[in-house]
Structure 1
Amino acid sequence: MNQDIASISSNLDKTMKAQQFDKVVEAILAGKYSWACVLMLRFAGYNPLHYIPYRTYNRLLKENSQASRVNQQQNENIKLLKQPNDSRTDSNVSSNCLTKIKDIPYLEVVGKQKTEIRGSSLDRRLAQ
């Protein structure tokens, strides 16, 4: 029994690198089972499109490429926050802020507005 497990793990090492395996585990822990399947197929050298529909594959790629971009931005922000204040430059901080909020000149305070919900003209016709 132990030999079987050892041979399986050695085959896994040949097929998938530790970083790749970590990505699959992260996807599973995040509840993204479909993405984990896509990653396993890719890392094993298979084309995921042979196993899942094209639309599903594109949706998964889009969702997870956006998620990876968000994670990269968060990591960059954390690195900036960890730097001492002296090493941070104002231009570096301001450029990061501007990339997040592109429409700063258009910010305005909006007061609470009362909106009345009125029935349609059908309600008026029925009331007559």
Structure 2
Amino acid sequence: MKFTLAAAAFAFLASAADAATAKITTSWIVNAGLLPVTTCYYHGEDGKTYFMGDFSDGCRGTKHDWVRQICVDSSKARAHITFSGGTRRCFKQTWRSSECVGTGPESCYKGICPTCSRAEYTPTSCTW
């Protein structure tokens, strides 16, 4: 079975989007020395998943008019979203993994194997 970034992203989203509570998920995947593929998603209480951008750390604006900015601070295990009306919702990292989905020795190329980092952030009170 060949490792593909699309398969890993799909499996990650499928496992992350099953809860009705709001959360943020990020991923960072590098396959055989290629440029990393990074993603950030917001999983709303409405059961929908919203792509927030190609990043897994730092602050970004989004294409969604209801979000002013989303920030992920992986070194401090926290994140927050500032909505267009000015309300801010904070999140703490509650899960992290460095395992790649759907990989094994067959996914390595000339001794270079995929590296991954995935994280989930769930709501918490804003203290920063």
Q: Using CA pairs below 8 Å that are at least 6 residues apart, which structure has the higher relative contact order?
A: 2
Hey, which of these two has a bigger chunk of strand by percent? 2
What TM-score results when the alignment is normalised by the length of structure 2? 0.23
Higher helix share: 1
Who wins on radius of gyration, i.e. which is larger? 1
